[in-house]
Amino acid sequence: MNKDEVIINIEHLSKAFDGKAVLKDISLYIKKGEFVTLLGPSGCGKTTLLRILGGFTVPDAGVVTMEGRDISGVPPYERPLNTVFQRYALFPHLDVYDNIAFGLKLAKVPREEIDARVRKVLKMVSMSDYEDRDVDSLSGGQQQRVAIARALVNQPKVLLLDEPLSALDHKMRLDMQIELKEMHRKLGITFIYVTHDQEEALTLSDTIVVMNEGRIQQIGTPTDIYNEPVNSFVADFIGESNIFNGTMIKDKLVSFMGHEFECVDEGFGTNTPVDVVIRPEDVYIMAQTEGAQFTGKVRTCTFKGVHYEMFVDTDSGYELMIQDYNAFEPGTTVGLLIRPFDIQVMKKERVCNSFEAEVVGEGKVSILGAEFECSVPEGLESGETVTAELPFNAVELLDHPEDGVLTGYVHFILYKGNHYHLTVRTDEGADIYVDTNDIWDKGDLVGINFAPAALKISRRDEN
């Protein structure tokens, strides 16, 4: 079997539920024998994608091919893949043996062969003595094993797993992770695994597909994803990270936290705004300040088992999370150093808010249904559609939604070392990005005001 052979190919897949897009133009290929994890927060579309593969959900657009054959119209019972469901979905009216034999009996496999295969797969999941047990009398972990056995006994080419470990306690989860990995190695079939647990994804996968809001953010090996996240979402979602606004001064020189650092990234141009990610374990912390790139003062120090986690206020007023084997007392001044290849520079997704707006009279524009007074350039007439740009820090968030011109809720929060970068979703579903020093929680209802003077109106680019 050629390891590099593609088994599943997904092209331009889209799906919406009640007008709300859940998957937006997903393209992805999966190689034979690979352990692929679809990773993302809840609501990112990962489960929908898995259900489309299983045949339970019909995509609005796009093609899924398996071994070169279009399987879009193939019903679930004819697909050569099996699923391990999130809540196991074991049949309560059948015992362990009959649950596992369910698929084989339907396929009219001879009795002796069913017997042999059920026994073999039970042995593999270490449940040999449980054949006659009622599934309700089993613990969560045992039910999980039966669910895996029930799927594997049919010898599928691809095994789909929908958050199979989410209902288990932490210790059991770690044990099952090792067993799953071992099973994958032994069987050599393709595993497609859905989870929101980044640690699980890093432990198990050959390839991780990070998803957010219906789009694939990054595809790569666990090390790639961890060490070289492509954007601030991935950096924030996978592992702990310090994320800063920075400026790429020129190739191999980046400025952030008020200091200039040598780095290894090239090709961003000169003086380009970028996001910079520093993993907490990649900052060198030392007692002496000479030889350090910059200094800081330890604010808190917590023991985490293997390492200490410290929050350090830097000389330039930023907060930095550092993990180190040595503890530094709060209050001590420390020297800090970041090496060039530990600095991950990412292209910024946006540098300011950009809205479609309409001129509605002398010095007035309408944005997202609300009117704002601002300076409208000469030559723009009422009714004309224009582009309005607004810096992140020119948006004001108010405690009382009714005080704002627009209302919405805090959708996503990113800490940037000295301020928060929020995504606020308005009631109409538009996203407004805000830089603020105030602390908000995810889901908070807010009123939104714009500083009209900061609005920059320009003619729309003619295409």
Partner 1 sequence: MRIKRSSWSIPYAIFLALFVVMPLVMVAIYAFQGRGGGFSLEQFSRFIHTPEDLNTFMYSIEIALITTVLCLLLGYPAAWIMANSELNPSRITILLFILPMWVNMLIRTLATVALFDFLKAPLGEGALIFGMVYNFLPFMIYPIYNTLSKMDKSLPEAAKDLGATPGKVFTKVTLPLSMPGVWSGVLMVFMPTISTFAVAELLTMNKVKLFGTTIQENINSGMWNYGAALSLIMLIIIGVSTLMSGEESSRENETGGLL
Residues contributing to the site for partner 1 (CB under 8 A): 54-56, 75-78, 82-83, 85-87, 89-93, 102-103, 106-107, 134, 136, 150-151, 154
> Of 74 and 286, which CB lies nearer to partner 1 in the complex structure?
74
**In the complex, least distance from residue 52 CB atom to partner 1, rounded to whole angstroms:** 13
| Amino acid identity at 134 | D
**In the complex, least distance from residue 159 CB atom to partner 1, rounded to whole angstroms:** 11
> Of 103 and 214, which CB lies nearer to partner 1 in the complex structure?
103
> Of 109 and 337, which CB lies nearer to partner 1 in the complex structure?
109
**In the complex, least distance from residue 107 CB atom to partner 1, rounded to whole angstroms:** 6
Spatial distance between the Cα atoms of 379 and 312, rounded to a whole number of angstroms: 52
> Of 74 and 351, which CB lies nearer to partner 1 in the complex structure?
74
**In the complex, least distance from residue 136 CB atom to partner 1, rounded to whole angstroms:** 6
DSSP codes joined into one string, 46-62: HHHHHHHHHTSS--SEE
Give 183's contacts (C-beta < 8 A, 6+ positions apart).
Answer: 124, 148, 152
Spatial distance between the Cα atoms of 380 and 389, rounded to a whole number of angstroms: 16
For residue 39, the cross-strand partners are: 195, 210
Contact 30, 6 (CB under 8 A): yes
> Of 156 and 220, which CB lies nearer to partner 1 in the complex structure?
156
**Integer Rg of the chain from CA:** 27
**In the complex, least distance from residue 160 CB atom to partner 1, rounded to whole angstroms:** 8
Q: Which of 120, 121, 133, 58 is nearest to 90 (CA)?
A: 133
Contact 222, 258 (CB under 8 A): no
Question: Element (H or E) spanning 451, and its range?
Answer: none
> Of 91 and 341, which CB lies nearer to partner 1 in the complex structure?
91
> Of 85 and 412, which CB lies nearer to partner 1 in the complex structure?
85
**In the complex, least distance from residue 150 CB atom to partner 1, rounded to whole angstroms:** 7
> Of 126 and 137, which CB lies nearer to partner 1 in the complex structure?
137
Contact 138, 99 (CB under 8 A): no
Which residue pairs, CB below 8 angstroms and at least 24 apart, start in 218-224?
219/28
Give 454's contacts (C-beta < 8 A, 6+ positions apart).
Answer: 390, 391, 394
**In the complex, least distance from residue 405 CB atom to partner 1, rounded to whole angstroms:** 37
**In the complex, least distance from residue 87 CB atom to partner 1, rounded to whole angstroms:** 6
Cα angle vertex 82, ends 79, 85, to 5°?
A: 130
Sheet with 370-373, side-by-side order of all strands: 370-373, 364-367, 353-359, 385-390, 456-459
Contact 434, 392 (CB under 8 A): yes
- Secondary structure of 313-328 in the HEC alphabet? EECCCCEEEEEECCCC
> Of 103 and 404, which CB lies nearer to partner 1 in the complex structure?
103
Query: 140: which DSSP letter?
Result: H
**In the complex, least distance from residue 74 CB atom to partner 1, rounded to whole angstroms:** 12
> Of 142 and 231, which CB lies nearer to partner 1 in the complex structure?
142
**In the complex, least distance from residue 115 CB atom to partner 1, rounded to whole angstroms:** 18
